[in-house]
Amino acid sequence: MKIINVTKNVSLKRTIEAGTETQQQAVTQIIEKVKAYGDEALMALTEKFDGVRLQSFAVTKEEIERAYEEIEEEALAAIREAIENIRDFHARQKRETWITTKEDGTMLGQKVTPLDSVGVYVPGGRAAYPSSIMMNVIPAQVAGVERIVMVSPPQSNGSWPAGVLVTANELGVKEMYKVGGAQAVAALAYGTETIAPIDKIVGPGNIYVALAKRAVFGQVDIDMIAGPSEIVVLADEKANPIFIAADLLSQAEHDPMASAILVTPCEKLAQKVADEVIVQLETLPKKDIAAASIQDYGAIYVTQDLAEAIDVVNQLAPEHLEVLTEEPLTLIGKIKHAGAIFLGPYSSEPVGDYFAGPNHVLPTNGTARFSSPLNVDDFTKKSSIIYYSQAALQANGKKITTLARLEGLEAHARAIDKRLEEEK
Amino acid sequence: MKIINVTKNVSLKRTIEAGTETQQQAVTQIIEKVKAYGDEALMALTEKFDGVRLQSFAVTKEEIERAYEEIEEEALAAIREAIENIRDFHARQKRETWITTKEDGTMLGQKVTPLDSVGVYVPGGRAAYPSSIMMNVIPAQVAGVERIVMVSPPQSNGSWPAGVLVTANELGVKEMYKVGGAQAVAALAYGTETIAPIDKIVGPGNIYVALAKRAVFGQVDIDMIAGPSEIVVLADEKANPIFIAADLLSQAEHDPMASAILVTPCEKLAQKVADEVIVQLETLPKKDIAAASIQDYGAIYVTQDLAEAIDVVNQLAPEHLEVLTEEPLTLIGKIKHAGAIFLGPYSSEPVGDYFAGPNHVLPTNGTARFSSPLNVDDFTKKSSIIYYSQAALQANGKKITTLARLEGLEAHARAIDKRLEEEK
């Protein structure tokens, strides 16, 4: 791993996949086909891309029952407990409608309403992660979204992996369709005979899914389009290099473009971690991916002191930040930009990826400067409530017309004047 | 105005300006120039588009003092009271960092942090609205944003209108630059010698500004790109047609593409409003704009009953909704999609546009299905906080490794195992 003495500004090596022109055109064509031919297009595209001709997209009871026979008891228990933890954490984010009243009869407030319907995209193949289903479905459920539609491409056997089916069923998802790619996104946005359209699409996907989400944005809402994953570890001389190396590698195994970075004022630790990464890398099943990530996007930044290290962390604005310093809790206030902050030696990133409760869908690519983890607010919208009594308008009408006329909007002023005249 | 008996589905005539290819290219070139030449490019582009060669972009104390001499006392008082109301309402939206603790030492929470810096774009010419400045600046201030930068094109005299200068000064805005258009957006996103870059750009603008905002999105965050404005009035037979006509016209005077729509189960009211619109239109200064809007985008929908009328409103998902029925407050729960809900005969839309306190930056074009009024949350971001004690990891580590291995992510599992091994 490269060890770099930091002097001034650092930033993540950002990589936003924009897609090639060919990919863009393919996505445009797929969307047009689904809009024009509905289910028929979905059938044909699924056969083309997933190699399966389906009779029906809907997941059946039998498929779910079979999945329960397949899944290990230990895994099922862990899924259930994770769901409980994630539900508990997100329930604490929920906001209520509120109203404030004044003596003159004025009422002002903010109504919080869940979205009517949400589509959750789940990638196929190796990225069909049960944890990702939980993290996208639960905040929508907690928000009160009535209709949640899950889509994911079928495997070559025409079904989904057992872990995906069991997790969706444990969550209580009722509408599940075996369709993936840009065609699934188009179906969610515009609807087909089988799939009624939804209001917002969330969930990760490959470049075609990302391009399709971008294309339907406006017709429906979408979540952020995630870039490659990142971890930054902030550590001092007391930190355990074995833990740090393991955590950096857990990020690196995701993607050759994932970033794993250590920031420390301790040169000795830097060297130990660099050595330990090589040792641990050797026996990893995903050694090739992790090695490429460490080589191209990994780094160890050595700073003058802890204050400078914190400054570097804030410049990086990482998706995941681990704080392995002597008093990690006291640093929360100094950390300005991070998607999730893991504090202390036992809060390894996978604790949050799978189990603790907070969402693992986090702002990547330095967007933690202005973006938040996926949360219940993302599945609700607000409406302002304004009630003015006759007395309130009498008392304030003249001020309102003054402001309207200052902006040259006479019809605005007259709408108020009509009410004031009525009184005379 | 067209009176239409509603039978089934209705929707807003949506119009999203995508810009012509020439406009797109112009914006790309402007952004590249500003990135390459900084202030020099800003000077040249301001001379080209605004017809003024400025010595410096920064607004001076003298300009502000002159503006106070110009502004009417009554207007100043109204501005001050509006600011107070808007601040009060938005202060109620503010969220605090929270944490939840468990007996095993686990701490989970959500840290709320204001954005570091925000740029507020204020259009030039007739659209240099003091109210718009208040609505964009105040939620950022309430959120705790430290650096707020206001940009707006200079008038031909090289300065800003008095209303704009006074409002910005009353709000306490410290950084103000006389630069507009795509060049201002580029300067905010990438920075120049004079203007340090910011994290998020908000505020309305013409098509060039909108295209520039889209182009810099990702580099910085942006607010929604607003479409033409809409009002929907939901009214029953008790409603006053004079009020309704005035309110429809107050929307129509904004823009020939603005929509003003009445939804009512009462045919008699429909006819009276249609007649009254013609009468009131006659004497409006912006008669031409309002007439075009009513002609092309205005409509009166007559429904079977009030329930059906509410259904139509939810289908339209309007930016502004006025409820002029006998018991307006009892309908709040039935209204699912609306940016702002104005209840009763004295809550005319301008009450909210200028004065009451809720934000007037609202989701247009039917996006109230999934979007919210501009609010304090838009100027903060959240970070998850995760602390696991050694005991908590001991108790839960095996479940986490089970889930990681179910997903085939061995390095994730090992990051936990390294900690569990340490205990033996």
Chain A touched by B373 (CB under 8 Å): yes
* Eight-class DSSP state of B319: S
In contact, A96 and A143? CB cutoff 8 Å: no
Token pair of A8 as six digits? 């001034």
Q: Compute the C-alpha angle B274/B275/B281, nearest 5°.
A: 90
Query: Which pLDDT value is given to residue A10?
Result: 76
Name which of A253, A336, A386 is nearest B347 (Cβ-Cβ).
Answer: A386
- A276 included as an active-site residue: no
Alpha-carbon gap, residue B213 to B372, rounded angstroms: 19
Of the candidates B354, B421, B352, the one whose C-alpha atom is nearest the C-alpha of residue B393 is B421
3 state SS of B4: strand
Alpha-carbon gap, residue B20 to B406, rounded angstroms: 50
As a whole-number percent, the residues of chain A with pLDDT over 70 amount to: 97
Contact (CB<8Å) B340/A384? yes
Alpha-carbon gap, residue B375 to A110, rounded angstroms: 10
Q: Is the pLDDT of residue B423 over 60?
A: no
Q: Which residue of A has its CA nearest to B115?
A: A370
What number of other Cβ atoms are within 10 A of residue B268's Cβ?
A: 11
3 state SS of A246: helix
| Beta strand spans in A134-269 (E) | 147-151, 175-177, 200-202, 221-222, 230-235, 259-264
* Eight-class DSSP state of A58: B
Phi, psi of B282 (to 5 degrees): -50, -40
User: Which position has the higher pLDDT, A311 or B1?
Assistant: A311
- A360 included as an active-site residue: no
Query: Which pLDDT value is given to residue B424?
Result: 55
Alpha carbons within 13 A on the beta-carbon side of B133: 33
3 state SS of A211: helix
Alpha-carbon gap, residue B365 to B337, rounded angstroms: 12
Domains in chain B with CATH codes: 3-16+228-356 (3.40.50.1980), 21-222 (3.40.50.1980), 390-422 (no CATH)
Alpha-carbon dihedral angle through residues B131, B135, B140, B144, given to the nearest 10 degrees: 80
Active-site residue set of B? 319-320
Chain A touched by B408 (CB under 8 Å): yes
Task: List A residues 384-403 in contact with B (Cβ-Cβ < 8 A).
Answer: 384-390, 392-393, 396, 399-403
pLDDT level of residue A48 (50, 70, 90 thresholds): very high
Query: Which pLDDT value is given to residue B7?
Result: 66
In contact, B46 and B179? CB cutoff 8 Å: yes
Question: Which residues of chain A lie closer than 8 angstroms to B165, CB-CB?
Answer: none
Contact (CB<8Å) A346/B107? no
Contact (CB<8Å) A358/B413? no
B196-220: pLDDT as tens digits: 999 999 999 888 999 999 889 888 9
pLDDT level of residue B8 (50, 70, 90 thresholds): low
B383-421: pLDDT as tens digits: 999 999 999 999 999 999 999 999 999 999 999 999 998
User: Which position has the higher pLDDT, A275 or B366?
Assistant: A275
A21-45: pLDDT as tens digits: 899 999 999 999 999 999 999 999 9
* 3-state secondary structure string across B64-127: HHHHHHHCCHHHHHHHHHHHHHHHHHHHCCCCCCEEEECCCCCEEEEEEEECCEEEEECCCHHH
A116-148: pLDDT as tens digits: 999 999 998 877 899 999 999 999 999 999 999
What number of other Cβ atoms are within 10 A of residue B418's Cβ?
A: 18
Alpha-carbon gap, residue A14 to A224, rounded angstroms: 16
Q: Is the pLDDT of residue A160 over 60?
A: yes
CA distance B247 to chain A (A): 6
Strands of B340-343's sheet in order across = A98-101, A107-114, A380-387, B340-343, B320-324, B230-235, B259-264, B299-302, B3-5
Phi, psi of B140 (to 5 degrees): -65, -40
pLDDT level of residue A214 (50, 70, 90 thresholds): confident
User: Which position has the higher pLDDT, B417 or B1?
Assistant: B417
Question: Which residues of chain A lie closer than 8 angstroms to B167, CB-CB?
Answer: none
Alpha-carbon gap, residue B352 to B358, rounded angstroms: 6
Contact (CB<8Å) B415/A363? no
Residue B107's identity, in one-letter code, is M
Token pair of B387 as six digits? 């602390």
* Eight-class DSSP state of A372: -
Query: Which pLDDT value is given to residue B6?
Result: 80
| Beta strand spans in B305-393 (E) | 320-324, 340-343, 380-387
Alpha-carbon dihedral angle through residues A154, A158, A159, A160, given to the nearest 10 degrees: -30
As a whole-number percent, the residues of chain B with pLDDT over 90 amount to: 88
Q: Is the pLDDT of residue A7 over 70?
A: no
What's the mean pLDDT in B171-175? 97
Stated as kind and residue range, the H or E segment containing A41 is helix A39-50
What's the mean pLDDT in B117-138? 93
Contact (CB<8Å) A411/B221? no
pLDDT level of residue A153 (50, 70, 90 thresholds): very high
Q: Is the pLDDT of residue A303 over 60?
A: yes
Annotated binding site of B for Zn(2+): 251, 254, 353, 412
A255-272: pLDDT as tens digits: 899 999 999 999 999 999
| Alpha helical stretches, state H, A71-161 | 73-91, 130-143
**In this predicted complex, what is the ipTM?**
0.94
Alpha-carbon gap, residue A160 to A423, rounded angstroms: 68
Contact (CB<8Å) B383/A342? no
Q: Which residue in this structure is represented by tokens 């996949």?
A: A17
pLDDT level of residue A14 (50, 70, 90 thresholds): low
Alpha-carbon gap, residue A318 to A295, rounded angstroms: 19
